[in-house]
Structure 1
C-alpha cells in the first residue's frame, strides 16, 4: 500500500491501523487518529488531515521519518505524547495555538522543524 484515502464516513483511524506500512507515501484521513496509527511509516511524506480533526493520539506518527510538513486545522483540540516524534524531515508546522492541548510532551521531539506558524482560521490546500 502506497496511498490511502480514508472515506469521509470513517471518523476514527484506530490504534495501529497502518503501523509499519513501510511503503505508504500519502494518507488523507478523518476526525480522530488514535495512538500508533501510522507508527514507523518511514516513506510517509504527505498527510492531509480532515478539517474536522479533533484528536491525534500518542505516537500516532512517531518515526515517520519522511514527513515534511504538518498543517493542523483550527478544529484540532488535542495531540498526544510523542505524536510526531522522530519525524526528522518535518520542516514546517502550522497549528492552532489558542485551541490546542498538548498531552504529555515530546510531541515534536527530534524533528527538523524550521518554521512554525499559527493557524488563525486560514484555509489551506496542500498537494502531494
Structure 2
C-alpha cells in the first residue's frame, strides 16, 4: 500500500477517524519520556483506542518505546523518510497485522517489534542494512520474513516459536530456542534461491515487476502461483502480503490467458 505525500498532508496532525479507523497521524512528537519512563501527550487509555498509525513525511527516527503496548493498533504505515526504528518502538502491539516500512529504512533496533503476536508477514526494504537482536522475537504467527541477503541479522531475530521456524527443520534446545542463530539467519536470507523458487522471489521482492513475474509464469504455467515453498507459502501469498507490490495476480493471469487465446486463434 503506497500512500502519496499529498494524502498525508490533507490531515491535521493528531488522532482522528480515517476510513472508519481511529488513526494517529504522527509527525515525530515525543510520546515517551525516556528519562522518567512514562507517556507524554496521550495517556494509556487514549493509546489503547488507536487502530492505525500513520508516520508522516519528515520523520526520520521512531524513538524508544514510542508505540510500546498500543495493543489495538492493527496497521502501521511509514513515510519513506524514516531511517531508524529504535528499541521497543512497537513492542507488544498485540493486534498489529500489517506494516509498511519506509523504503529508506536503514536500521531496526532490538525488540522493536517483539511480541507483535498478530503479525504474519514483514518485508524489509534492501536499504535496511542492520536488524538487531530479537527484533521479531515472540511474533508467533510470523511466517513471511522477506529480507535482502546484504542485511545483517542479529541474534534470534525470530524465536523458535515463530511460525517460520516451526515450519522449518531447525532443532531447538530445552528452553525452546534454536541452537544456532547464525545458521537460521543464513537460511532466512537464502531459502528462496534457485530457479525452483524464482516466482516466490519475484513476488516477495521489493517493488515486484509485472514483466518479471509474467515471464516466469510463461515458463512455469499459472499453477506456479499456487506452489508452496519449503514452509508452505505460495507466490500468491507473497504477492498479496507484499506492501511494496503495485501489481495484482489477477491482472497477470488475465494477460496470460488472453495471450494464450491469441496464440490458439492465430
TM-score, length-scaled by structure 2 = 0.44
Task: Note the C-alpha offset of 1:126.
Answer: 2.1
Greater percentage in strand: 1
Q: Which runs of 5+ in 1 are unaligned?
A: none
| 1:123 matched residue in structure 2 | 207
CA distance in 1, matches of 2:87, 2:243: 24
Measured on the aligned residues, the alpha-carbon RMSD in Å equals 2.1
For residue 41 of structure 2, what is the aligned residue in structure 1?
Answer: none
2:74 maps to 25
1:107 aligns with 2:161: no
| 2:96 is the alignment partner of 1:44 | yes
More helix by percentage: 2
Question: Partner residue of 1:57?
Answer: 109
Q: Can you list the C-alpha shifts for 1:25-68, whole angstroms capped at 9, x where unaligned?
A: 01012221001000100000000001101100000000000001
CA distance in 1, matches of 2:64, 2:91: 10
Displacement after TM superposition at 1:102 (Å) = 1.7
The superposition leaves residues 59-110 of structure 1 with CA deviations (integer Å, 9 ceiling, x where unpaired) of 000000000101000101101110000101111121001x21123x010113
Number of residue-to-residue matches in the alignment: 125
Q: Distance in 1 between matches of 2:151 and 2:73?
A: 28
When structure 1 is superposed on structure 2, of 110-119 and 54-63 the one drifting more is: 110-119
With the length of structure 1 as denominator, give the TM-score of the two structures.
Answer: 0.88
Aligned residue number for residue 15 of structure 1 = 64
Mapped to 2, the partners of 1:82 and 1:43 lie a distance apart of 19
